[in-house]
């Protein structure tokens, strides 16, 4: 939509004199015969002035955003909303709320609409340890949920008794509602509240669930957790959420996996980080240590004499599985030197001697 006020450079409350002065200035600036003129801009300026200088056109433009009459030929009444299933008296346009409800929330003409509510999705959190992530595991969870009613199999009524045409809407699933608005009388097609758009009502509603087709209960679900799953990862279990009304679709269950912290390892992607304590003597003379992997496998690591503590030792293939694929990450071992709290006199003498030899 063109903003005529912006084109002329005036405020919406501008007077007729202000509009006329602005038009003369802009027309002089963009006239095609002048140096630097702009034919397209000149046309826009003239179009804006033709609307804003006319009292009736300006009023219509301010109210509806256009100066064109509402006669697009879309329907028999000449209304711009003709053909969309609205009934107008006197060509009166409905308010915005009614239009929105018709387009997005009302029932369509000429057909039944089944509007039973689908079951809600649910979320549940399961906690696993790192060893379970390594091998994969299964967790059985039990939680409260809306379940399909057993006696009526989730239908909400006795299937043998059958259904009858809705008396309120005559089986159409929709009704017409007329209301008086500020603009006039407006008739709108809406979903029938009695049958909720189905066009039918049960002859014998289920007494157990009150006709909803569902009731409170407990759902038991076994969730498979694959090897290598990440902390915080969401697993979707289709159809394991709450039951819908009268046989409508069941929601899904979303299981969030939480991995407990490990006492020896810290996970970094598919790698496992571990810290091992070394004595000063082992660091100076070199040694061989054994570290258990996450799977409990003993892994031998050789520490050469004079080893640089800023380096870490990488053990390939002893980390976590790659989720949904092959292979495993690495085990990365860092070291922490342990200093003795007390030294004997003999040990002090040896260290002094060693110090002298190093220097």
The mean per-residue pLDDT over the stretch 168-197 comes to 80
Instruction: Say if CB 232 and CB 258 are below 8 A apart.
Output: yes
Confidence class of residue 42 from pLDDT cuts 50, 70 and 90?
A: confident
Mention every residue, 6+ apart, whose C-beta is less than 8 A from residue 325.
none
Q: What is the CATH number of domain 1-69?
A: 1.10.287.110
Give the whole-angstrom CA distance, residue 237 versus residue 240.
6
Q: Give the residue-averaged pLDDT of 180-205.
A: 80
Mean pLDDT on 24-52: 81
Q: What is the mean pLDDT of the chain?
A: 81
Q: Which of 128-142, 204-218, 326-340 has the highest mean pLDDT?
A: 128-142
Domain residue limits, the chain: 1-69, 75-105+164-202, 266-358
Could you list the beta-strand ranges (E) of the chain.
87-88, 122-128, 137-148, 163-165, 174-181, 184-191, 200-202, 214-225, 234-237, 253-259, 266-268, 271-279, 287-292, 298-303, 313-315, 331-338
The pTM score is 0.58
Mean pLDDT of 254-282: 93
What pLDDT sits at residue 92? Answer: 37
Residue 76 has pLDDT above 80, yes or no: no
Q: Is the pLDDT of residue 111 over 70?
A: no
Our CA dihedral for 81, 83, 84, 86, rounded to 10 degrees, sits at 80
- Rounded to an integer, the average pLDDT of 276-283 is 84
pLDDT at 184: 66
Identify the DSSP state of 136. -
pLDDT digits (tens, 9 = 90+) for 14-34: 898 888 888 888 887 887 766
Range with lowest mean pLDDT among 189-198, 259-268, 322-331: 189-198
Return the residue matching tokens 């007494």. 207
- Per-residue confidence band for 359, with pLDDT thresholds at 50, 70 and 90: low
Phi-psi region of 5 (alpha: psi -120 to 50; beta: other; left: phi over 0): alpha
Q: For residue 235, with 0-12 CB atoms within 10 Å meaning exposed, 13-18 middle and 19 or more buried, which class applies?
A: middle
Q: Which of 67, 101, 103 is nearest to 84 (CA)?
A: 103
Whether residue 110 is predicted with pLDDT greater than 80 in this model: the reply is: no
pLDDT band at 63 (very low <50, low <70, confident <90, very high): confident
Which pLDDT score is estimated for 57? 85
By percentage, how much of the chain surpasses pLDDT 70? Answer: 81
| Euclidean distance between CA atoms 2 and 48, whole angstroms | 9
pLDDT in tens, 304-334: 887 888 889 999 999 999 998 899 999 999 9
Side-chain half-sphere exposure of 191, counting CA atoms within 13 A: 17
DSSP letter (8 states) at residue 37: -
Residues 197-211, mean pLDDT to the nearest whole number: 89
Domain 266-358 sits in CATH at: 2.60.260.20
Model confidence at 133: pLDDT above 50: yes
List, in sequence order, every residue forming a beta bridge with 222; answer none if it has no partner: 140
Is pLDDT larger for residue 85 or for residue 116?
Answer: 116
The least confident of 170-179, 216-225, 261-270, 286-295 is 170-179
Distance CA 276, CA 302 (A): 13
Cα–Cα distance measured from residue 244 to residue 117, given in angstroms and rounded to the nearest whole number:
6
278: confidence class by pLDDT, cuts 50, 70, 90: confident
Closest CA relative to residue 193, chosen from 94, 87, 84, 115: 115
pLDDT at 221: 96
Residue 88 has pLDDT above 90, yes or no: no
Task: Output the 3-class SS for 85-104.
Answer: CCEECCCCCCCHHHHHHHHH
Mean pLDDT, residues 185-212: 85
């Amino acid at each position: 939509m063109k903003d005529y006020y912006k084109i002329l450079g005036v405020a919406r409350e501008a007077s007729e004199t202000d509009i006329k002065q602005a038009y003369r200035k802009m027309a002089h600036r963009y006239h095609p015969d002048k140096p630097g003129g702009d034919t397209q801009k000149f046309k826009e300026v003239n179009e804006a002035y033709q609307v804003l200088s006319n009292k009736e056109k300006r009023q219509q433009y301010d109210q509806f955003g256009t100066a064109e009459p509402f006669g697009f030929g879309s329907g028999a009444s000449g209304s711009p909303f003709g053909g969309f299933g609205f009934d107008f008296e006197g060509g009166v346009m409905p308010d915005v709320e009614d239009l929105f409800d018709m387009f997005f929330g009302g029932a369509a003409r000429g057909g039944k609409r089944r509007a039973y509510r689908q079951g809600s999705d649910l979320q549940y959190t399961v906690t696993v340890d790192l060893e379970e992530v390594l091998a994969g595991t299964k967790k059985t969870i039990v939680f409260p949920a809306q379940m399909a009613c057993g006696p009526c199999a989730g239908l909400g009524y006795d299937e043998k008794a059958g259904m009858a045409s809705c008396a309120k809407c005559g089986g159409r699933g929709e009704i017409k509602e007329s209301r008086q608005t500020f603009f006039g009388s407006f008739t709108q097609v809406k979903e029938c509240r009695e049958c909720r758009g189905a066009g039918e009502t049960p002859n014998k509603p289920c007494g157990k669930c009150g006709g909803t087709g569902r009731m409170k209960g407990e759902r038991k679900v076994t969730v498979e957790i694959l090897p290598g799953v990440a902390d915080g990862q969401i697993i979707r279990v289709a159809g394991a959420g709450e039951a819908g009304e009268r046989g409508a679709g069941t929601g899904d269950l979303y299981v969030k996996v939480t991995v407990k912290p490990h006492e020896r390892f810290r996970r970094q992607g598919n790698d496992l980080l571990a810290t091992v304590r070394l004595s000063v003597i082992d660091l100076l003379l070199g040694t061989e240590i054994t570290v258990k992997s996450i799977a409990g496998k003993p892994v031998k690591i050789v520490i050469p004499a004079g080893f640089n503590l800023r380096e870490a030792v990488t053990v390939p293939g002893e980390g976590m599985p790659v989720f949904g694929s092959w292979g495993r990450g690495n085990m990365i071992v860092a070291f922490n030197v342990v200093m003795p709290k007390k030294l004997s006199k003999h040990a002090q003498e040896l260290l002094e001697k060693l110090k002298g030899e190093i220097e």
